[in-house]
């Protein structure tokens, strides 16, 4: 370059590369290249504008502002002046009319790979540096995290109960149908959504549909509320696991400090009846003479009013359950300590981001399958296991014509895969751009369904054994939720050889199942914080610490003596109706506002071209079938709503109102943030124009990867999307972005 001062004579704010790599403003070499590119194009544009003014085919407003900083927002003229490929072609063609100095500058620019595919990569490098979020170390890290998130406690303690109570083997048919109609389409939508933009839910919706940007924050609210009480359940499992380190489990016998009158220990009864004529009644052993004198023989054999020690131990010793939610009671300190342990392990696992948790999840995702398999082979060898499995699989086809059966199948698959909670978007946002998220959706979705069915075999083989031991019908033994995990199964292990071993394995499995889901819930919250405030990415440890401390303090209310009432309330309302609403809005955005066909072409830039059937399948589901199913579920659950109760005791009105408030927190977030975003947006000529602009994606929408943004279907012509292959440049409508 003909510059003796080391500074370009054409662009005095840029230093010559031969004399240094810093600009006057202290910019680095990459920033200087960016500056060169934009100044070259701006100068070319000035000449182009003058010629078009002379010819009369350009009004003064068409050119737009062209002076200013090199920031994208400061050079918006290209939005109206250039279409696909025109920018590169015009600049290259105009080189013939440049001066010798301009030609030299062009050579310098060319040497830095400006206006080539390489510059696209270099510019993307700059963007990546600015939004560095980290990535999974490998594809299997993501796969294991996704499996750990979707396969949780509900697969073990909820699905078996739903299956037996809604048609047995016949329930598998609506369950699989709802996976195809509802679960898989939503799962694939969210995984591809997060992977394409490499953003968590709190940031991604602001780019694709600013008016509904509150959806992402609402998802974070749901994940946050669920994480509060989910860790308490994990804390219970930790406590039971620690209690298993004993020669005799504490719930094997009725101990007078916590046992009720109904408590009946089969071990105490066996020891008592070993003596001829003795009878075990009200935790006392009566000899033959006392039995005849007190006439208690018939009472002692009444099995309808018995409670296993495991039930009293859980409700009266571990939880100390009060009479109602109005009597919240004090803290149960052993649960508090286990809750602290849970949050500490969560902090250690998440403190270094997805790369650290990506290693932990290999254990938390796979170990439950090891334990389930051990329990399966032990269960099927027990006396009565066959009866339990037959009861589980025997189809009751009359249930298939009952709407409630289909609704429960849909609700179960919906909450098993957890779409609209933010976790799927968050986990996939750390994927490599070309990861095959379609294959991942299939693997984890089908794996989730199979795990639920497999867990049913394990649970019902054990329940069949317990029913035979108690000489009672199976339907009086089976339970769901905490009742199954902390009452039925602990009672079963006391009847097996080496009870502490089976107890330890089972509760350790619950811990790993819970932790796998908890990691994703917390990662959703932390990703939202870091995407909203990018400087905090450099202080990830403090973000994790803050979230964990906040979560621990929030979970203390569930550690009280009335905590079980609070947990049931949160479990019922925190992730129910609002989640359906968010999923419907997701389908509205992707299917109708952004365009299902357009989004599918974006997906093809990541995973390769697919068949027409593949296109039509997802277009039909995302636009019509899946949202219609969600609307039906929402309305059915509202119409079929029943008052909240626990142990057949209805909740007070104020508690139910509190529950509904929790339900509507995410909905209020969506509404309030939409109003605020609309109010803060730039003015337009009419209300309709402003609304239309707020409903459509912004210039920031697109893949945040080293693959040029133009590889995605962000170029729209005639309302239809098509893949653009112009490297380094991206067009949206008639807009060209550098």
**What confidence tens digit (pLDDT) does each residue in 456-511 have?**
999 999 989 988 887 788 877 777 678 888 988 898 899 888 999 999 999 999 99
Checking if the pLDDT of 163 tops 90, the result is no
Mean predicted confidence (pLDDT) in 625-630: 94
- pLDDT tens, position by position, 524-550: 999 999 888 888 888 889 999 999 999
What mean pLDDT do residues 229-243 have?
Answer: 95
- Mean pLDDT, range 62-85, rounded to an integer: 39
Is 71 annotated to bind ligand? no
CA distances from 465 to 52, 266, 319, 456, 691 (A): 88, 14, 27, 14, 63
- The rounded radius of gyration (Å) of the Cα atoms in the chain is 32
pLDDT at residue 575, as a whole number: 83
Indicate if the pLDDT at residue 716 is higher than 50.
no
- Pick the closest to residue 523 from 502, 551, 503 (CA basis): 551
Paired strand residues for 646: 649
Which band of pLDDT confidence, cut at 50, 70 and 90, is reported for residue 215?
A: very high
Among the listed ranges 161-175, 516-530, 610-624, 696-710, which one has the minimum average pLDDT value? Answer: 696-710
Residue 670 has pLDDT above 80, yes or no: yes
Contact in structure between 449 and 474 (CB atoms under 8 Å): no
For residue 471, the number of C-alpha atoms closer than 13 Å in the C-beta half-sphere is: 6
374 has pLDDT over 90: yes
How many whole angstroms separate alpha carbon 365 and alpha carbon 527? 21
Q: What is the mean pLDDT of the chain?
A: 79
Q: If 0-12 CB within 10 Å is exposed, 13-18 middle and 19+ buried, where does residue 603 land?
A: buried
Give pLDDT, residue 96. 52
Return the pLDDT at 214: 95
The burial of 140, by beta-carbon neighbours within 10 Å (0-12 exposed, 13-18 middle, 19 or more buried), is given as: middle
Would you give the DSSP letter of residue 170?
G
Long-range CB contact pairs, 685-692, < 8 A, 24+: 691/211
C-alpha distances in angstroms, 586 versus 189, 222, 590? 9, 15, 6
Between these two residues, 381 and 475, which has the higher pLDDT value?
381
Q: In the prediction, which pLDDT does 336 show? A: 97
Exposed e or buried b for every residue in 365-392, given b needs 16+ CB within 10 A? bebbbebbeebbebbbebebbebbbebb
What pLDDT is stored for residue 97 in this prediction?
52
Predicted local confidence at residue 314, as pLDDT: 93
Tell whether 448 is in a known binding site. Answer: yes
| pLDDT for res 14 | 38
In a 3-state reduction of DSSP, which class is residue 18?
helix
Hey, is 266 helix, strand or coil?
Answer: helix
Segment 121-141 mean pLDDT: 59
449: left (phi over 0), alpha (psi -120 to 50) or beta: alpha
CA gap 132, 126 in Å, rounded: 10
Q: Is 513 known to sit in a ligand binding site?
A: yes
The stretch 11-33 carries a mean pLDDT of: 42
pLDDT for 632 beyond 70? yes
Q: What is the mean pLDDT of residues 200-214?
A: 94
Which class does domain 141-248+333-518+544-678 fall in? mainly alpha
Chain-centre distance for alpha carbon 250: 37
Residue with more model confidence, 622 or 304 = 622
Helix (H, G, I), strand (E, B) or coil at 4: coil
User: What is the secondary structure of 534-565 as a DSSP string?
Assistant: GGGGGGHHHHHHHHHHHHHHHHGGGGBTTHHH
pLDDT range class, residue 727, cuts 50, 70, 90: very low
Contact 547, 572 (CB under 8 A): no
Threshold 0.95, pTM exceeds: no
For the ranges 91-100, 186-195, 726-735, the lowest mean pLDDT is seen at 726-735
Q: Which of 386, 463, 387, 393 is nearest to 167 (CA)?
A: 393
Instruction: List pLDDT tens digits, range 24-70.
Output: 344 455 555 555 555 555 455 555 545 554 554 444 434 443 333 33
Give the domain ranges of the chain: 141-248+333-518+544-678, 266-306
Structure tokens belonging to residue 540: 């990830």
The mean pLDDT value for 355-380 works out to 90
- What's the full length of the chain, in residues? 738
Q: What is the DSSP string of 408-463?
A: HHHHHHHHHH-TTSSHHHHHHTTS-TT--HHHHHHHHHHHHHHHHHHHHHHHHHHH
Q: Who wins on pLDDT, 437 or 104?
A: 437
Statement: residue 92 has pLDDT above 60: no
Annotated binding residue 517: yes
Q: Let me know if 119 is exposed, middle or buried by CB neighbors in 10 A (0-12, 13-18, 19+).
A: buried
- Asked whether the predicted pLDDT for residue 515 surpasses 80, the reply is yes
Which two structure tokens, joined as six digits, stand for 237?
């499992």
Do 257 and 457 form a contact (C-beta atoms < 8 A)? no
Taking a C-beta distance cutoff of 8 angstroms, is the pair 231, 551 a contact? yes
Q: Is residue 322 pLDDT above 70, yes or no?
A: yes
Percent of the chain with pLDDT over 70: 74
Say how far apart CA 646 and CA 226 lie, in whole Å.
19
Burial class (CB in 10 A: 0-12, 13-18, 19+), 655: middle
Which residues does residue 331 pair with via DSSP β-bridges, in sequence order? 560
Q: Choose between 154 and 195: higher pLDDT.
A: 195
Q: What does the pLDDT read at residue 480?
A: 66
DSSP symbol at 263 = B
Lowest-confidence region among 222-236, 254-268, 342-356, 388-402: 254-268
């Amino acid at each position: 370059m003909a510059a003796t001062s080391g500074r370009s004579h054409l662009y005095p704010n840029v230093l010559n590369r031969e004399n240094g790599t810093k600009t006057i403003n202290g910019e680095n070499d990459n920033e200087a290249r960016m500056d060169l590119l934009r100044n070259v194009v701006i100068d070319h544009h000035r000449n182009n504008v003058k010629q078009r003014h002379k010819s009369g085919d350009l009004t003064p407003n068409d050119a737009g502002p062209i002076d200013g900083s090199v920031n994208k927002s400061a050079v918006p003229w290209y939005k109206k002046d250039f279409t696909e490929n025109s920018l590169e072609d015009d600049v290259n063609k105009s080189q013939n009319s440049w001066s010798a100095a301009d030609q030299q500058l062009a050579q310098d620019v060319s040497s830095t790979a400006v206006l080539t595919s390489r510059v696209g990569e270099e510019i993307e490098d700059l963007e990546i540096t600015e939004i560095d979020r980290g990535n999974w170390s490998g594809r299997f890290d993501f796969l294991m995290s996704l499996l750990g998130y979707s396969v949780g406690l509900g697969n073990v303690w909820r699905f078996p109960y739903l299956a037996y109570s809604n048609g047995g083997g016949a329930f598998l048919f609506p369950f699989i149908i709802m996976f195809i109609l509802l679960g898989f389409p939503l799962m694939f939508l969210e995984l591809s959504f997060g992977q394409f933009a490499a953003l968590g839910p709190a940031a991604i919706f602001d780019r694709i549909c600013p008016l509904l940007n509150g959806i992402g924050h609402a998802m974070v609210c749901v994940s946050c509320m669920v994480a509060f009480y989910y860790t308490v359940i994990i804390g219970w499992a930790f406590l039971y696991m620690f209690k298993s380190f004993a020669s005799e489990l504490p719930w094997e016998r009725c101990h007078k400090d916590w046992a009720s009158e109904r408590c009946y220990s089969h071990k105490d009864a066996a020891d008592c009846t070993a003596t001829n004529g003795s009878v075990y009644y009200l935790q006392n052993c009566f000899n033959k003479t006392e039995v005849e004198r007190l006439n208690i023989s018939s009472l002692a054999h009444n099995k309808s009013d018995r409670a296993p020690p495991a039930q009293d131990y859980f409700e009266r010793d571990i939880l100390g359950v009060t009479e109602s939610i109005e009597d919240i009671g004090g803290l149960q300190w052993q649960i508090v300590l286990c809750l602290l342990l849970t949050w500490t392990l969560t902090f250690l696992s998440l403190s270094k981001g997805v790369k650290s948790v990506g290693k932990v999840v290999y254990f938390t995702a796979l170990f439950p399958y090891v334990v389930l398999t051990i329990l399966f082979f032990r269960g099927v060898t027990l006396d009565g296991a066959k009866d339990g499995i037959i009861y589980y699989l025997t189809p009751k086809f009359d249930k298939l014509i009952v709407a409630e059966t289909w609704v429960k199948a849909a609700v179960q698959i919906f909450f098993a895969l957890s779409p609209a909670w933010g976790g799927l978007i968050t986990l996939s946002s750390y994927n490599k751009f070309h990861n095959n998220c379609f294959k991942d959706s299939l693997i984890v979705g089908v794996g989730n369904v199979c795990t639920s069915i497999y867990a049913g075999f394990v649970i019902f083989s054990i329940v069949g054994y317990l029913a035979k031991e108690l000489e009672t019908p199976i339907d009086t033994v089976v339970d769901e939720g905490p009742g199954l995990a902390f009452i039925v199964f602990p009672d079963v292990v006391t009847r097996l050889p080496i009870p502490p071993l089976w107890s330890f394995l089972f509760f350790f499995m619950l811990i790993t199942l819970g932790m796998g889901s908890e990691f994703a819930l917390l990662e959703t919250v932390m990703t939202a914080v870091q995407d909203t405030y990018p400087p905090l990415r450099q202080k990830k440890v403090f973000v994790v610490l803050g979230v964990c401390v906040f979560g621990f303090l929030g979970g203390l209310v569930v550690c009280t003596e009335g905590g079980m009432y609070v947990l049931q309330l949160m479990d019922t309302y925190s992730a129910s109706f609002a989640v359906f609403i968010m999923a419907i809005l997701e389908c509205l955005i992707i299917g109708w506002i952004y365009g299902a066909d357009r989004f599918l072409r974006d997906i093809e830039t990541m995973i390769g071209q697919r068949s027409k059937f593949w296109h039509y399948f997802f277009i039909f589901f995302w636009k019509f079938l899946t949202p219609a199913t969600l609307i039906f579920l929402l309305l059915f659950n509202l119409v079929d709503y029943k008052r909240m109760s626990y142990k057949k005791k209805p909740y007070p009105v104020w508690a139910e109102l509190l529950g509904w408030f929790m339900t509507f927190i995410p909905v209020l977030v969506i509404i309030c943030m939409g109003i605020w975003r609309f109010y803060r947006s730039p003015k337009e000529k009419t209300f309709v124009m402003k609304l239309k602009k707020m409903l459509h994606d912004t210039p920031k929408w697109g893949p945040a990867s080293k693959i040029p943004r133009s590889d995605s279907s962000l170029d729209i012509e005639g309302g239809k999307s098509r893949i653009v292959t112009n490297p380094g440049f991206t067009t949206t409508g008639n807009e060209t972005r550098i």
